[in-house]
Amino acid sequence: MKKVSMKKTWDKPRENTMPAAVRVPAAVVIGGVLVAPATVLAPMAGVTDTVFRRFIRNASIFTGHGRGDAGATPQIDARHLVEAPISNQQSGCGLIMTEFTSADGLSRMRESKRKRYLAYDEDEHPISAQLFGSDPLTLADAARIVEDEGFDMVDLNLGCPAKRVVSCNGGSGLLRDLPHIATIFERVRAAVRIPFTVKFRMGWSDQHIVCVELARLAQESGLNAVALHARTREQGYSGQARWEFIAAVKDAIRIPVIGNGDVRSPEDACTMIAETGCDAVMIGRAAPANPWIFRQIAQYTAFGTYNQPTSMDRYHMIRDYFVMLMEEDQNAATGGRMKQFASWFTHGLPGGAVLRKNIYEAKSSTEVLTAVDAFFAAQPTSETENEAEQLLAAGV
Ligand SMILES: Cc1cc2nc3c(=O)[nH]c(=O)nc-3n(C[C@H](O)[C@H](O)[C@H](O)COP(=O)(O)O)c2cc1C
Task: Please indicate, yes or no, whether residues 186 and 42 belong to a single structural domain of this protein.
Answer: yes
Please report the beta strands in 103-169, taking only residues with DSSP state E, as ranges in sequence order.
Answer: 127-132, 153-158
Same domain for 138 and 250? yes
Pocket test for ligand 1, best of 229, 231, 268, 294 (most atoms within 8 A of CB): 229
Q: Would 362 be classed as within a structural domain? A: yes
136 belongs to a structural domain: yes
Name the DSSP letter for residue 16: -
Q: Does 355 lie in the same domain as 266?
A: no
Ligand 1 atom at minimum distance from 263 CA: 26
Whether 206 is in a domain gets the answer: yes
Classify residue 219: in a domain, yes or no: yes
Q: Which of 236, 270, 303 is the last residue of a domain?
A: 303
Q: What are phi and psi of 85, to 5 degrees?
A: -65, 140
Ligand 1 centre to CA of 283 (Å) is: 9
So what's the pLDDT on residue 155?
98
Question: Is the beta carbon of 199 within 6 A of some atom in ligand 1?
Answer: yes
Q: How far is CA 348 from CA 48, 92, 171, 292, 311, in A?
A: 22, 24, 33, 15, 11
Q: Which atom of ligand 1 is nearest to the CA of 260?
A: 23
Q: In this structure, are residues 304 and 75 in contact, taking their beta carbons and an 8 Å threshold?
A: no
Query: Is 144 found in the same domain as 58?
Result: yes
Distance between start and end Cα atoms, the chain: 49
Any ligand 1 atom below 6 A from CB of 170 = no
Tell me what pLDDT residue 161 has. 79
Rg for the chain (alpha carbons), in Å?
21
pLDDT attached to residue 25: 94
**Strand, coil or helix: what is 171?**
helix
Count up the domains in the chain and report the number. 2
From the CB of 42, is ligand 1 less than 6 Å away? yes
Which atom of ligand 1 is nearest to 227's Cα?
A: 19
160 is annotated as an active-site residue: yes
256, burial (CB in 10 Å: exposed 0-12, middle 13-18, buried 19+): buried
Atom of ligand 1 nearest to the CA of 262: 25
Please tell me what DSSP assigns to residue 43: P
8 A C-beta contact, residue 358 and residue 346? no
Contacts 24+ apart (CB under 8 A), 387-391: 388/78, 388/81, 388/310, 389/312, 391/77, 391/78
> Does residue 285 have its Cβ closer than 6 Å to ligand 1?
yes
User: CB neighbours (10 Å) of residue 97?
Assistant: 26
Distance of CA 142 to the CA centre of its chain: 22
Residue 22 covered by a domain: no
Which residue owns the Cα nearest ligand 1 atom 3? 44
Dihedral Cα 309, 311, 314, 320, nearest 10 deg: -130
Instruction: Say if residues 51 and 7 touch (Cβ distance below 8 Å).
Output: no
Distance 23 CA to ligand 1 centre (A): 24
Shared domain for 118 and 266, answered yes or no, is yes
Report yes or no on 123 lying in a domain: yes
Q: What SS3 state is found at 55?
A: helix
Residue 13 lies in a domain: no
* Predicted local confidence at residue 64, as pLDDT: 52
Nearest-atom index, ligand 1, CA of 99: 8
- Quote the pLDDT of residue 347: 73
Its pTM stands at 0.86
Whether residue 197 contacts residue 29, with contact meaning beta carbons closer than 8 Å, is answered with no
User: What is the 44 CA–ligand 1 centroid distance (Å)?
Assistant: 5
DSSP secondary structure letter of residue 162: -
Q: Are residues 315 and 220 in the same domain?
A: no
Residues 179 and 208 in one domain: yes
129 lines ligand 1 (CB under 6 A): no
What is the pLDDT, as a whole number, of residue 162?
A: 80
CA of 42 to the centre of ligand 1 (A): 6
Tell which of 280, 303, 326 closes a domain: 303
Whether 168 and 273 share a structural domain: yes
Hey, which residues does 62 pair with through a beta bridge? 90
Q: Which entry of 93, 160, 211, 270 is annotated as an active-site residue?
A: 160
pLDDT beneath 50, residues of the chain = 1-13, 19, 65-87, 383-384, 387-396
Indicate whether residue 47 lines ligand 1 (CB < 6 A): yes
Q: DSSP class of residue 124?
A: G
DSSP 250-301: HHH-SS-EEEES---SHHHHHHHHHHH--SEEEE-THHHH-TTHHHHHHHHH
Contact predicate 159/181, CB 8 Å: no
In a domain, 37, yes or no: yes
Domain that holds residue 375: 311-393
Of 303, 325, 353, at which residue does a domain stop?
303
CA distances to 146, 193, 255, 256, 258 from 32, in Å: 17, 11, 12, 12, 16
Rounded distance between C-alpha atoms, residue 50 and residue 44, angstroms = 12
CATH number at residue 57: 3.20.20.70
Long-range contacts made by residues 116-120, C-beta under 8 angstroms, separation at least 24?
Answer: 118/145, 118/146, 118/149, 118/151, 119/50, 120/50, 120/53, 120/151
250 and 380 belong to one structural domain: no
Atom 4 of ligand 1: nearest residue by CA position: 44
334 shares its domain with 264 = no
User: What's the angle, vertex CA 18, arms to CA 72 and CA 240, rounded to 5?
Assistant: 140
- Check whether residue 356 and residue 208 sit in a common domain: no
The verdict on 233 and 321 lying in the same domain is: no
